[in-house]
Every structure is written in structure tokens, then in C-alpha cells.
Chains A and B, each alone.
Chain A
């Protein structure tokens, strides 16, 4: 993978289909994800949103029966080429999950661990501080860096996971329902943080919360099951403002107005 930023797109899919065994869970997705923007993936439960998201950093590799057809291109390189190391893919494309999942270690080690494994040679204290500042958590934890991450609140834990992700300096951050387990204030804090993060990173977020997608994202991809195979696909991809005020597809309209789903 080269890292020249020579296009406006951070990543794109070409005729991407994802299978679990013979079942085609996601079919023919063609998306171009713009750099340093937030792209939301919405759609009813079971339509393949998370499957698609996980394909971007090859998390689906952990499901033994899964396979992909088509391409995911980053800087012109197919992430599923034989010579690509999935570990390197996951370093370039970080992920934040629905439930905060800090390591059962200190706040400090939660940040330093991944960096050390990835061969970070710089000043670790600085990296920890930068990452925590980047995740808008520094002020709250700077005096208790050696305490267990489990002592933090859910919202703080989620921001710690974001700090842990950005410590490895990825280009893209994938977020799978990052605020669905959090209270409204923590949710807004994460949303505000996302606006800061997009100055440096490209963000892809899966969310069931329509208002959240409308509030935080620049672009929105609407997914749905279709056809006899009941495979998930992107039926509409557009500017978020358009998706929520005047979508082209009747099915998107029905979904965002809550008449279907």
C-alpha cells in the first residue's frame, strides 16, 4: 500500500459482494468514500451494514466461512490482494465498536500497548497525551493514567477506545454503532469528537439512530435487503442533507420517515 493522498477518495469498493458460505450477505456495492468526511451507513437490521463495515478492515476474515468478491481499493490497491497483510490493513483502518472494549489494563497501557506492538519508537508519554487529547479525554484522566480503564464511565471508555485507535495513526476509522450503549450526553460528546476527528481522519459510521446520521455525517449510504437472495445492498448514496430532506428512492424515504424498517 502506498500512502500518497492523490485522490479525494480515501477508499472505494468495486462490485463488492460478501459471502458467509454460500449466502451472499452483501451484494454489488460500489461506494467511493471521500477523504476526511464522515460517511454514515444506515438501513434496517440485518441488511448487512456491519458486514460491509467490517469488510473495510478485513474483520470478516475472522469468520472462517466468509469470503469476498470484487475489490476494496485504498490508494489504488485492493485490500483483498494475496500480498496484503490484514494486520497492516487494520493498522491503517481502525475500528471502534458498539460496546466500549478497553483492555483490562491501565488507561496508559490501553494507549501504549497497540503502539508498542506496531513498533512505535517515539516518546510514549507524548503519544498517550496526544491520543487522549485527540479523543477529548485528556483533561478527565490526566491525573489517573495508571488507574484501570474499567474505572471509567461508559462514555469515557468509548473515548479511550477512540484514543487507542488514533494512537496507531490510522487513515480511516470505522465506527459500528459507537454511541448506542451510551447516555445522551456521552453520545453528543462522541458526536462532537467525530467532527474534530474528521479534520485528520476519514470516518465511516454504522448507526441505527437516524438523527445521529443526519447530525454527524456528510454522506449517507442507505442499505436494504433486496432480490430473491435477500442480500443487502446500497440502494441510495448521497449527500446526507439530501437523504434526510429529499431522498430519491421511495424505500429510503419510507425508512428515514420511519414507515418501514
Chain B
């Protein structure tokens, strides 16, 4: 086959994106686990791991630049490489959400959790699972799957809504809980954003295959409109 070298470099690139994805997936699950256990050391370790994520992202970016410069990609190849550039930047930001959660755990110091974490780990699990499947869809260029994953974002949004309402009841009952409630809301918000970015990855997969750049509909906009309406 012509372009054997390029083909194998593309395969390597996809493997590297998957590797970066699995680092991010692990980071988000670990960040919530550390918070749940109030394990400060584990959270500090996540700061170091985030540096590895950033390094990996830059390494892939560099590899992409070299491929673009040396292989002059066209059509599908071009869309794939351009999309990888987007996807790794999404992943890096998703890693930052995990780091943000680790940061909250560290800043909470000795203060106990306001409540045992139930929905927050669910959000993390759901987001990590969506990320995992979105990257599998990306590698396999499976647009059917890529189109369905964003719909699941509604579940994460619903969990966020639930966490929000629950924390508000704490705050109303006892205003001294404001700071601790705020920390947890911040965590939940990071996880909500984490899942949103999975949608962007799915959109890129659709673009790679079809060449069409468009948003995959989720009910996200509606969710934000309803925020603060007390529902």
C-alpha cells in the first residue's frame, strides 16, 4: 500500500490520543476518590500527574505539527489531524478539571465533607465512561456511537441539578455551611463541564468522517436556561 509510513504514524498518533485520554479518565476518577476519602496526599499526587498530562499533550501537538509539515495531509487525513489538535486540547482542559477538584480537596484542609458524596462520584463515573466511549468511537471512526454519547450528557446535568438543590437546602438551613457547600458545588460544576467537553470530542469524530462541522444537539442549553428558576 502507498503511504505505509504515514499510515503507521497515524496509528501511532491515535494510540497516543488514547493514552492521553486514559490519563485524563484516571485523573478525574482519582480526584473524586481522593476527595471522598479526604486523602490530601492523593490529591497532591494528581498535581504531578496533571503535569504529565500537559507534557503528553504538547508531545502529541509536536508530533501533529511534524506530520502536517512533512506529509501534507489532504481530505480525510487533514480532517483527522486537525481534529486531533482539537481533541488533545479538550483532553488537556478536562485534565485541568480533575486538578481543580484535587485543589479543592487540598484547600478544604481539615474541614469535614458537608455530606457523604453519592451523586458527585456518579457524575465522575458517568463522565469518565462517556469519555472512554467517545475516544473508542474516535479511534474507530464510529459516528453512530459518537452521535449518541452527547445525549447522555443530560444525565450528568440532572445529577448536577440534584447536587445543586441538595447543597442549597444545607445552606438555607445553616448559613455557616456556605463555604463547604460552595466547595462541593465547585466540584460538581467541574464534573458537569468535563462531560460537556466529551460532546466536543464526539463532534470532531463526526467531522472526521463526514467533513461536516456542526454541533450535536443536547438539551444543555435548556438546562442552563432552567438554572436558577427553582425547579
* Interface residue ranges, A against B (CB under 8 Å): 210-211, 214, 244-247, 252-253, 256-261
Contacts and interface: CB of A to CB of B under 8 A. Distances in A.
Given A245-B211, A246-B211, A259 B75 contact: no
A257 B77 contact: yes
Interface in B91-148: none
13 contacts: A210-B72, A244-B74, A245-B75, A245-B78, A245-B79, A245-B211, A246-B75, A246-B210, A252-B75, A253-B76, A257-B3, A257-B75, A258-B6
Interface in B53-98: 72-79
A256 B1 contact: no
B172 interface: no
Contacts of B3: 257-259
B204 to A, nearest CB: 14
A64 to B, nearest CB: 37
Given A246-B75, A260-B2, 9 more contacts: A210-B72, A244-B78, A245-B211, A246-B211, A247-B75, A253-B76, A257-B74, A257-B77, A261-B2
Contacts of B6: 258
A246 B77 CA distance: 10
- A-B interface, 4 closest residue pairs, ranked by CB to CB distance from nearest: A246-B211, A256-B74, A257-B77, A244-B74
Contacts of A252: 75
Nearest to A242: B211
A253 B208 CA distance: 13
A252 B77 CA distance: 13
A188 B47 CA distance: 49
Contacts of B72: 210-211
A258 B74 CA distance: 9
A247 B77 CA distance: 12
Interface string B12-26: 000000000000000
B119 to A, nearest CB: 42
